[in-house]
Amino acid sequence: MTAQDATDAKIWVDGDACPTVIKDILFRAAERAQVHVTLVANRALRCPPSRYIHALQVHDGFDVADSEIVARLKLGDLAVTQDIPLAARVIEKGGVAISPRGERYTRDNMAERLSMRNFMEDLRNIGVYTNNRSASHARERQSFANELDGWLVERSRQK
């Protein structure tokens, strides 16, 4: 990644499923680090007024928002998503992906994550309750903030 790429690095957020507390962390980071954050969703999202924070509404449809994120993502950009297949596409394109729970997706852990996701989906399809947690706990918010700060530090070093 060149210095110009680092300067232009952006954060793309899978906005349909991103918890409000994580969006708030991203909004504060956008202002502090002067990095562009774009929430992509198939519904209108409200964002605070800022030159660094944007919302992009896409058409309804399967994976339309995901495909838009991947199409716009550049080398070194960050994607925030809990969607494992989207994270895999981001990594394949040279981006960085983290979950709202603070898990950093990597090439090394992606196969395991995809396998587990598919297994859980199979269980749900046959009627087994899999207890999808949705609450964001303080430890997970801190983990997310730490991963985000790590990416911002990497970005600033490459400027």
Per-domain residue ranges for the chain? Answer: 3-157
Domain 3-157: which CATH class? Answer: alpha beta
Mean pLDDT in consecutive groups of 10 residues from the start of the chain, 159 residues: 60 93 97 97 94 96 94 97 93 96 87 68 72 69 96 87
What is the residue-wise DSSP string for the chain?
Answer: --HHHHHH--EEEETTT--HHHHHHHHHHHHHHT--EEEEESS-----S-SSEEEEE--SSTTHHHHHHHHH--TT-EEE-S-HHHHHHHHHTT-EEE-TTSPEE-HHHHHHHHHHHHHHHHHHHTT-------PPPHHHHHHHHHHHHHHHHHHHHT-
pLDDT at 78: 98
What's the number of CA atoms in the CB half-sphere (13 Å) around residue 147?
23
pLDDT at 120: 67
pLDDT at 88: 93
Question: CA of 53: how far to CAs of 11, 14, 87, 122, 128, in Å?
Answer: 10, 14, 21, 37, 40
pLDDT at 86: 95
pLDDT at 135: 52
Nearest 5 degrees, angle CA 28-CA 103-CA 134?
A: 80
pLDDT at 71: 98
Report d(CA 21, CA 2) in Å as an integer.
Answer: 32
pLDDT at 108: 82
